[in-house]
Structure 1
Amino acid sequence: MSNSSANKQNSTLIAMAILTFMFFIFGFVTWLNGPLIPFFKLACELTESQAYFVTFAFYIAYFVMAIPSSGLIERVGYKNGLSLGLIIIAVGAFMFYPAAETRTFGLFLGALFVMGTGLAVLQTAANPYVVVIGPRESAAARISVLGMANKFAGFIAPLALTTLVLSNMADYTADKIAALDATAKETALDSLALQLQAPYIYMGLVILVMAVLIKYSPLPEINLDEEDTVAHQSLFQQIREVLKRPQLVLGVITLMLYVAAEVLAGDSIGSFGKKLGVYGDNGDFYLKLTSFTMTAMVIGYILGVTLIPKYVSQVTALKLSGLLGIVLVLAIIAISPSTMVTLPGLPELPLVIILVALMGLSNALCWPAIWPMALEDLGGYTKIGGALLIMAIIGGAIFPLLYGALADSINITTQTNDIAVKSGNQLAYLILLPCYFMILFFAIKGHKYRSWSRA
C-alpha cells in the first residue's frame, strides 16, 4: 500500500470514528421523542393528535432549515458546521428548563424545533460526507455503521429517560391524576414536568463540550465540487438543475415516506402500548417500547454491515425492506390486539406491538440505501441534493399528525376482554402501506432513471 493510499484510508477511518460518535448523539436526541409523546400527553393534558405535535415540531425543522443549512455549510465548512449544529442542539436542550418550569407545551415545542434545527445542520453536513469519503458501492455499509450508532443510542435513550428520570410514572397514571382536586392536580402535573429539567441541562452541557472537541478534531474537509460545476450558480439555479435528475426527486419522495415509517414505528409504539394496557409491574413499561423498535433497527444495521455489498447489493436490500414493510403493515392491521405473546424476561405483550417493533427491521436499511442511490451521478450538485434529501425528513413531521388524527377519529366499540378488537391506533398504521410500496418502486425502477423523458 502506497503512502497516499494509507493516508487516505487513515483519513477515512478518522472521519468514520468522528461521524459514528456524532450519529450516536443524533439518535439519543431524536429517539427521546417516543417516550416524550405519552409523557406530554399526560403532563400537558393533551389529546392523542395534539401529543404528536412533538414529532411535528422536531421534524419540521429539517424541512425549514435544510436549505439554509446547506448555505451555512458553504460559508463555514463542514467541520465548523458540525460544531455549530451541536451548539444549536445544546441551546434547544437548555430551553427545556423554562418550558418545564411553566409547564407550557408551546415552549416545549419551541425547544424541540431548535434541537431539530441543530440536527438539520448536522445531517446536511454528515450524510453527503459519508457517501463521498469512500467507494460509493460500499456507502450503504458505511451509513449502516453510523445507523447502528444512531439506533443503539435510540435503544438507550428511552431506557435512560424512564429509568433515571421517569421511574415514578406509576404515581402519575391518568386515573390517579383524574381523582385529584384541581389544586392537587396542578401541583402533581407541575412536579411531573419539572422532572425533565435536570436531564436536559446535563445533556446540553455534554453536547457543548462535544462541539468544542469537534472544532479541534482532525476531521478532514471535503470538496464536493472539484470540477467547479456549481461555484458560480445561484441557489435557485442549483435547485432547478437537480430537479432535472429523476433519481434525486424520486429519492426525496421515497426518503420522505421512509422517514414517516421509521418515526411512526419508533414514536407511536409507546402510545399504542399504553392504549392496549402495556404497563408492566412499575406502570411505565409502555414508555420503554421505543427501545424494542430500535433493537430491531440495530439488528437490521448489523445485517447491512455484514452483507452489503459483499453478499447483497444495496438495491436488493431496499427491495427486501419494502416487501417486509408491506407484510408487516398488513399483519398489524389484520391481527387482533387480544392475541398475546410471552417473551423471556418481559411482561405478556400483544402480538401487534411486536409487529410494530419489527417495522424497525424493515426500516433499518432504507436510509443507507436511498442516500447513495439518490445522490448517484450528481457530482457538484451533491451538496444541494443532500439538502433536499434532508428536507424529506418532513415525513416525520406530517405522518405522525395524520396518524394521531386517524387514531382519534376511528371509533370501534366492539370489545374482547376489555381490549378493543381493533383500536384506532392500530388501524391508523394503514397510512404506511403506500410508503412501503414507494420504497419498493424506487428500489426496482425509480433509482435507475436519469432523464424524465425516460421515466
Structure 2
Amino acid sequence: MESKQQQTKWSQFLSLIVVFFFWGFVAASNDILIPVFKKWFVLSQVQSQLVAWAFYVAYFVGSVIFFLISLKSDILQKFGYKKTLAVGLGLSALGAFLFVPAAAAANFWFFLTALFIVGLGFSVQQIVANPLAIKMGSPQTGAHRLTLAGGINSLGTTIGPILVGIALFGMGNKEDSAPKNQNLSKIEIVKNEYQTHKDELSKNIIELKKDTQDDPVKVNEVISTIEKNIADIDSQITSIDQNSGASDAQVDQYSAKLGEIKQKSTNITYPLEFVKENLKMVKVPFIVLGVAFILVAIFMLFSKIEDPAKEEEALIDEPAKFNIFHYPQLYLGMLAIFIYVGVEVSIISNLPALLHTKEFGGVLEHNIAPFVSLYWGSLMIGRWNGSINVFNTSKTTNLILKFVVPFIAFGIIIFSNELSGKDVSAFYIYALWIVAFIIMSFIGGKNAGKTLMIFGIAGVVMMFLGLVYPDKDLAKYFFISGGLFCSIMWPSIFDLAIAGLGKNTGKASSFLVMMILGGGIIPLVQGWICDFDKSSPDGIMGITWTHFSYVIPILCFVYLAFYGFVTPKILKKQGIEMGETTSGGH
C-alpha cells in the first residue's frame, strides 16, 4: 500500500499541467501585443513596456494579497486546492473577456487592466499549482514533475506567439518573410526599405478611404499626412535611382532620412474607429482563452484531483518568527529571481523595437511572431534538455538524448512557423547556438551554482557579441540566444535560495514568487533607454540607443553569474553542501 501511495498520480497530474501551458501561452503572446499597441496607440517604447509591467506586477500584487490573507487563514486548507485553483482560472477568464470591451473602446489602459486581471489569476494558479504538482506523488520525484510541467509551459510560449500572430495578421507570406537577398548592394537594400515603408503607408490609406464611421475631416487630415510621407519617400527613391553608385556616406544619408520619415509615421494619430477596426482581431484569441479558462476550471472542480492531506500541512506549520536577513542565500536569491525574470522578459519585449530599426532590417509587426517564437522556443529547448535527467537511462542513452532532444524541440519551432506560412529558413544557423548550449550544459552538469555561473557568463558573452558583431543578420541571434541561457536559471536560483531553510522553505518560496515583479520593471528600464533614439537620433558609439539598450541584459547576467559563484560558498560556511538540481522552470 505504501509503494502505491508513492507513485505519481499521472491522470491527475496531466490534468494539472494544462494550467502551465496557459501561463506560457499568454506570457509569450504579450510580446506580439507590444508592437501592435505601440503602433495604434502611438506609444513610446517605455510606454509599450507597460504591457509587461501590468502582467508581471499582477503576480507580485496577487502573491502579497495571498500571503497577507494566509497570515490569518490558510486558504488552501480552508477552501482546498481545486477550488482555489478554479478561482484563479475564473479570475483569468474575467481578464481575458475584458479584452472584448477594451478593443471595442480602443483604450490602452483598459487593455492593461484586463491583462493585470489575467496575471492576478495566474498568481493564484502559480501559488496552488506548483506545490500541488510536487505533492502528486513521491516527494523525491516532485521536482521531476515540475521539470515536465516547465516543458509544457515552454511549449505554450512557443505556440502562443504563432497562433496570436495568425489571429492578428492572418497566415504568413513566405516571400514577405524570406531573408533579404544578400547579393543586393547597400543602396539597393535602402531602396527596398523605402519601398516597404511606402507599401505599408499605402495600405493604410486604402483602408482609411473605406472608413465611414470617423469624422471625414479627421480621416482626410490623416490621409493628407500619410501622403506627405509617401511623397517624401518617392522623392528619396527618385534620388536613389539617379544615384545608383552612391558612396557609403550618401547611403548613410538616405538611411537617416528614412529614419526621419518613419519617425513621422509612428507619430500619426489615427481616427478612433479606424483604430478599433484594426484592434478587433485582438478579441478572438482572448475570447478563446477565456472560454478555455472556464472549461478547465469546471474540469478541475469535477476532476479526481485530491487535496494533499491536512496532516501533512500541519507538520510544516511553524509559528516562530521568520527573518529573511538571517539567510543571505535567500535575500540575494530574491534579487536574483527579480533580475532573472526581468532579463528573460526584457530581452524579448524590446526585441520587436530592435528588429524594427534600420540596422536590423526594419522588420514589421506582422513578421515579428517567428522571432518571438524562436526566443521562447529557446527556453523550451533548454528545459527539454534538462528534463532528460528525470529519466533513468544509461550514460550512453543520456548522452545521445542530450543532443537529440534539443534538436527535436528546435524542429517543432521550425515546423510550427512553417505551418503558419512564414519563411524561417534563416533560423537554421541557430543550430550553432544550440550546440554551444548543449556543450555548456555538460560543463555545468547538475550542480546549481556551477550551472548558473556558467550560463550567466554565457549570457554576458552573447549580449556583448550582439552589441558589437558587425553582421546584424547574425547579431540578432546572439540576443535571441538569451532564451537558451535563461532556460535553466529558475530552478538553479530557486534551489540555491531555499537551501538550508528547512521548515521555512514554504515562506521563502512565497517571497521568491513575489520577485517575479522584475518582469514588469526591468523591461521599463530598457525601454526608457530605447526612447533616447527620439531625442538623439545619432545614437551612441555608432549604434542606435535601442541597440545599446542591451547593456541592461549584460548587467543582469553579470549579477546572475555572481550569485551562482558566491552562493555555494555562503552555503558551505553554513555547513550545507549542494547536491544535484532537477527542478522545473518558470
Do both share a fold (TM > 0.5)? yes
Contact 1:38–1:287, Cα closer than 8 Å, also in 2 = no
Q: Scaled by the length of structure 2, what TM-score is found? A: 0.67
The match for 1:93 is: 96
Indicate which of 512, 515, 532 corresponds to 1:409: 532
Between the aligned partners of 1:161 and 1:168, the Cα distance in structure 2 is 11
Provide closer, same or farther for how the CA distance between residues 269 and 221 of structure 1 changes in structure 2, counting only shifts above 3 A.
same
Contact 2:34–2:48, Cα closer than 8 Å, also in 1 = yes
Structure 1 residue 432: Cα displacement: 1.6
* 3-state SS, counterpart of residue 218 of structure 1: coil
Indicate which of 53, 57, 62 corresponds to 2:50: 53
Provide closer, same or farther for how the CA distance between residues 58 and 297 of structure 1 changes in structure 2, counting only shifts above 3 A.
same
Which stretch has the larger CA shift, 266-275 or 406-415?
406-415
Between the aligned partners of 2:204 and 2:49, the Cα distance in structure 1 is 21
Provide closer, same or farther for how the CA distance between residues 157 and 173 of structure 1 changes in structure 2, counting only shifts above 3 A.
farther
Q: Is 1:42 the counterpart of 2:39 in the alignment?
A: yes
Q: Is 1:375 the counterpart of 2:515 in the alignment?
A: no
Report Cα offsets for 1:380-424 as digits up to 9, x if no partner: 433322221111111100011001101112566559xxxx95222
Structure 1 residue 447: Cα displacement: 5.2
Provide closer, same or farther for how the CA distance between residues 46 and 78 of structure 1 changes in structure 2, counting only shifts above 3 A.
same
* 3-state SS, counterpart of residue 304 of structure 1: helix
Structure 1 residue 318: Cα displacement: 2.3
Indicate which of 248, 267, 271 corresponds to 2:353: 271
Report Cα offsets for 1:82-132 as digits up to 9, x if no partner: 211111110000111111011011100100110110111111222344456
Provide closer, same or farther for how the CA distance between residues 363 and 73 of structure 1 changes in structure 2, counting only shifts above 3 A.
same
Which stretch has the larger CA shift, 176-185 or 113-122?
176-185
Between the aligned partners of 1:296 and 1:444, the Cα distance in structure 2 is 24
Structure 1 residue 335: Cα displacement: 2.0
The one-letter code matched in structure 2 to 1:435 is C
Between the aligned partners of 1:87 and 1:448, the Cα distance in structure 2 is 44
* 3-state SS, counterpart of residue 531 of structure 2: helix
Between the aligned partners of 1:52 and 1:92, the Cα distance in structure 2 is 19
Between the aligned partners of 2:86 and 2:569, the Cα distance in structure 1 is 36
Structure 1 residue 68: Cα displacement: 2.0
Structure 1 residue 448: Cα displacement: 5.7
Structure 1 residue 194: Cα displacement: 1.4
Contact 1:79–1:215, Cα closer than 8 Å, also in 2 = yes
The match for 1:214 is: 300
Which stretch has the larger CA shift, 104-113 or 133-142?
133-142
Q: Is 1:436 the counterpart of 2:439 in the alignment?
A: no
The one-letter code matched in structure 2 to 1:10 is T
Between the aligned partners of 2:141 and 2:51, the Cα distance in structure 1 is 35
Q: Is 1:246 the counterpart of 2:348 in the alignment?
A: no
Between the aligned partners of 1:242 and 1:98, the Cα distance in structure 2 is 43
Between the aligned partners of 1:61 and 1:355, the Cα distance in structure 2 is 30
Structure 1 gap segments, 5+ residues each: 341-349
The match for 1:424 is: 545
The match for 2:23 is: 26
Structure 1 residue 34: Cα displacement: 0.4
The match for 2:288 is: 202
Between the aligned partners of 2:447 and 2:310, the Cα distance in structure 1 is 23
The match for 1:398 is: 521
Structure 1 residue 259: Cα displacement: 0.3
The match for 1:62 is: 59
Between the aligned partners of 2:119 and 2:510, the Cα distance in structure 1 is 14
Between the aligned partners of 2:201 and 2:46, the Cα distance in structure 1 is 17
Between the aligned partners of 1:422 and 1:262, the Cα distance in structure 2 is 23
Q: Which has the larger radius of gyration?
A: 2
Provide closer, same or farther for how the CA distance between residues 437 and 279 of structure 1 changes in structure 2, counting only shifts above 3 A.
closer
Structure 2 matches for 1:24-423, cutoff 5 A? Answer: 24-70=21-67, 71=70, 72-73=75-76, 75-131=78-134, 141-167=144-170, 173=200, 177=204, 182-183=218-219, 185-186=270-271, 187-222=273-308, 226=312, 228=314, 231=317, 233=319, 240-276=322-358, 278=361, 284-307=366-389, 312-315=445-448, 316-336=450-470, 339-340=471-472, 350-410=473-533, 413=537, 422-423=543-544
Between the aligned partners of 2:170 and 2:497, the Cα distance in structure 1 is 43
Contact 2:157–2:376, Cα closer than 8 Å, also in 1 = yes
Between the aligned partners of 1:320 and 1:243, the Cα distance in structure 2 is 27
Report Cα offsets for 1:315-336 as digits up to 9, x if no partner: 1432332121111111122223
The one-letter code matched in structure 2 to 1:374 is A
Between the aligned partners of 2:139 and 2:352, the Cα distance in structure 1 is 37
Between the aligned partners of 1:84 and 1:227, the Cα distance in structure 2 is 21
Between the aligned partners of 1:369 and 1:422, the Cα distance in structure 2 is 35
Between the aligned partners of 1:447 and 1:309, the Cα distance in structure 2 is 26
The match for 1:5 is: 3
Between the aligned partners of 1:321 and 1:19, the Cα distance in structure 2 is 30
Structure 2 gap segments, 5+ residues each: 173-195, 209-216, 223-269, 393-441, 577-586
Q: Scaled by the length of structure 1, what TM-score is found? A: 0.84
The one-letter code matched in structure 1 to 2:545 is G
Provide closer, same or farther for how the CA distance between residues 375 and 332 of structure 1 changes in structure 2, counting only shifts above 3 A.
same
The one-letter code matched in structure 2 to 1:409 is F
* 3-state SS, counterpart of residue 332 of structure 2: helix
Contact 1:325–1:359, Cα closer than 8 Å, also in 2 = yes
The one-letter code matched in structure 1 to 2:381 is I
Between the aligned partners of 1:228 and 1:6, the Cα distance in structure 2 is 23
Which stretch has the larger CA shift, 216-225 or 300-309?
216-225
Contact 2:6–2:138, Cα closer than 8 Å, also in 1 = no
Identity rate of aligned residues, in percent? 25
The one-letter code matched in structure 2 to 1:329 is M
Between the aligned partners of 1:355 and 1:140, the Cα distance in structure 2 is 30
Structure 1 residue 264: Cα displacement: 1.6
Between the aligned partners of 1:224 and 1:61, the Cα distance in structure 2 is 29
